[in-house]
Amino acid sequence: MTTTTAGTPAESHVFEADVARLLHMMVHSVYSDKDVFLRELISNAADACEKLRYEAIAAPDLLAQDPSSRIVLSLDEDNRRLLVEDNGIGMSHDEMIEALGTIARSGTRAFMERIEANKAGEGAQLIGQFGVGFYSSFMVADRVDVVSRRAGSQQAWLWSSDGKGSYSIASADLAEAPARGTRIALHLMEDAKTYTSRWTLERIVKEQSGHVPVPITIIEKAGAEPTELTDGTALWTKPKSDIPPEQYTDFYRSVSGQYDDPALTVHFRAEGRHEYTALAFVPGSQPFDLFDPDRKGRMKLYVKRVFITDDAELLPRYLRFVRGLVDTADLPLNLSREMIQDSPTLAAIRKGVTGRIVKDLEKLAENDADAFLKLWDNFGSVIKEGIYEDFERRAQLMALARFRTTASGEGQRSLADYIRDAKEGQDTIYFLAGGNLEQLKASPQLEGFRARSIEVLLLTDPVDSFWVTNAPEFEGKSFKSITQGAADLAKFAKSEGDTAATGTASAEVQDFIAFAREKLAGEVSDVRSSDRLTESAACLVASEQGYDRQMERILQGAGRLQSAAKPILEINPDHPTVKAIAAETTDATLREDATLLLLDQARVLDGDKPADPRAFAGRLSRLMELSLKPA
């Protein structure tokens, strides 16, 4: 316990602000997490060590026989006390009043202003800006004692307050004061005694202050040997050439909470107008929260190696699977450092980090196709959100995208591959969207395209239906759904063995189409002859205007479309079933049943169910009875 020097009375002071109101705000409003008090005290201690390093350039004697900076946490569970001590610059009597007696007057900020005025402050690793972090101590302590001795001074001072409006300051006993620096004693509240637990302190330090540029040690009880918690280094500050892959992997696992290996590591330092360091990892497997509806990122923000928040939008949401951090000294912070001001600096950092990650994805795709395809399998469905959302990088993301197609077999192809192999005169990139790959492969709408060897993208992710409508073209070719509008396959030369329908119907079939158009008027918008079918008798397509079939389903499922537009029923004029129905002119009931069954068959092939299952079953039964009746 630090005491005042005999015969020296303690000075009583009133805080220079409306302390009752401001401290209440500090404790109950500014910080949302009580653990943050330790981060703030460690940040202040690191600042003090950095100030000493700066001043020792001109006055080396300030370091005396103790040149190595350190921060020590000492636990006293029996007395519910936590001590935070540093061997930094320390404070004189007047500096103590200035720094601790005036809320929101930061000694660090004043120091920065002084060295900036001298134009000699480059590299000074200072953290605090607003001078209020120290007062977060009163969230967990009902009294705080600060004893400090300025480097080179023969006097030490004791500052004490309960945070309720006043404080005292007195000369401290040199025998119990630090040889240099500051010791803060927190007399913890009953509900804060967990902060005397070594495991609690170790968790907080490693989460929030694990990379401050000063080693941190902990002493569990009086007389115990100190244990190192952090070594004062930060992996991201080292040159890439000095970091072996296993160190990157260990760090990735610590920041991501995953146990796989990173698929891609992005580490760079940006210099110029904005200076920052980024260390980001693309996981080797999907994180459990990849499809979290909130779509929040998981990049941590550090300011001068001190953790600030993991809630800053440092990357767009389509890169939310990326794990890592950004460390900068350029960002303006609010009082608590938990919320970042919306600033051009943050926007510039976001743009720079996003651009670099996309660029490194491009390099991986170019240099290691197999590794990129594995990454795409995990995260392609999320990256494609960027095609819809990020106009600036849309072309890059479309070039990165890989697709299963009618020509890809078990693999995947890029849009550049598609365009390279497109048919002569083909000015369209054709796609088919749906929820299941096997169902898409069996879709009747594909038949004519497959027969003419025209490649079609098979899109199974919900976001696909959005980006293809928002991306007007790729390298001059527009996108077109094969379930919407006319197929126009006649403009392409037939391949050998092409069995696609000609689209030209006999007079008999034309009469049937007219009959079906009249009979199905309440169900479809039109019935027409098809040139896209080879094996199936009929299929449904959407009209040229509006949405394609899959987009209609998505919007209806989301409650954003009350009812879908009536589809078009396309008839294969060369199909035996169609010819048989067209030839049936004597039995009106049979002709009508067959026509309605043809529509329901098209619905089933489209992934839907008959509009009226009971009526469908009745018609099917009648047709079966007729076919099984003895001749």
> Residue 79: which of 233, 215, 231, 195 has the closest Cα?
195
- Neighbouring C-beta atoms of residue 429, cutoff 10 Å: 22
Q: Which of 307, 303, 323 is nearest to 315 (CA)?
A: 323
Q: What are phi and psi of 156, to 5 degrees?
A: -125, 155
Q: How far is CA 72 from the centre of its chain?
A: 36
Measured in degrees and rounded to the nearest 5, phi and psi for residue 569 equal -95, 120
Report yes or no: 167 and 160 within 8 Å, Cβ to Cβ.
Answer: yes
Residue pair 534/448 in contact (Cβ under 8 Å)? The answer is yes
HEC string of 102-171 equals CCCCCHHHHHHHHHHHCCCCCCCCCCCCCCCHHHHHHHCEEEEEEEEECCCCCCEEEEEECCCCEEEEEE
CB 605 within 8 A of CB 443: yes
- Which pLDDT belongs to residue 335? 38
pTM: 0.78
Q: 181 has which bridge partners?
A: 149
Question: Is residue 326 a contact partner of residue 304, using CB atoms and an 8 Å limit?
Answer: no
Q: Look up residue 205 and give its amino acid.
A: V
Kindly report the number of other CB atoms within 10 A of residue 131's CB atom.
Answer: 21
How far does Cα 489 stand from its chain's mean position? 42
**Domains, the chain, ranges and CATH?**
11-230 (3.30.565.10), 235-374 (3.30.230.80), 401-628 (3.40.50.11260)
Q: Tokens standing for 563?
A: 């009812």
Find, among 190, 230, 183, the residue nearest to 206 by Cα.
230
- Closest C-alpha among 464, 466, 446, 463 to residue 455: 446
- Calculate helix-pair angle for 36-58, 198-208, nearest 10 degrees: 60
Contact 45, 214 (CB under 8 A): yes
How far apart (Å, rounded) are the C-alpha atoms in residues 562 and 579? 37
Q: Go through 178-189 and write b for each residue having 16 or more CB atoms within 10 A of its CB, e for each that does not.
A: bebbbbbbbbbe
Neighbours of 505 (CB within 10 A): 22
Return phi, psi of residue 623, to 5°. -70, -40
CA distance 89 to 48: 5
Query: Number of helices and strands (H, E) in the chain?
Result: 18, 23
For the chain (631 residues), the mean pLDDT of every run of 10, in chain order, is 55 69 63 84 92 89 91 96 97 90 60 58 52 82 96 95 88 94 97 95 91 94 92 92 93 88 97 94 91 80 83 91 92 54 82 97 97 97 94 96 94 96 92 92 92 94 90 89 86 65 78 94 93 92 86 81 85 93 88 94 91 92 85 61
Amino acid at 62: L
Taking the CB of residue 504, how many other CB atoms lie within 10 A of it? 12
51 neighbors 62 (Cβ within 8 angstroms): no
In 343-387 the beta strands, taken as DSSP E runs, fall at: none
- Residue 119 CB neighbours (<10 A): 7
Closest by Cα among 271, 290, 268 to 279: 268
Question: What is the DSSP code (8-state) at residue 159?
Answer: E
Sequential DSSP letters for 70-93: -EEEEEETTTTEEEEEE-SS---H
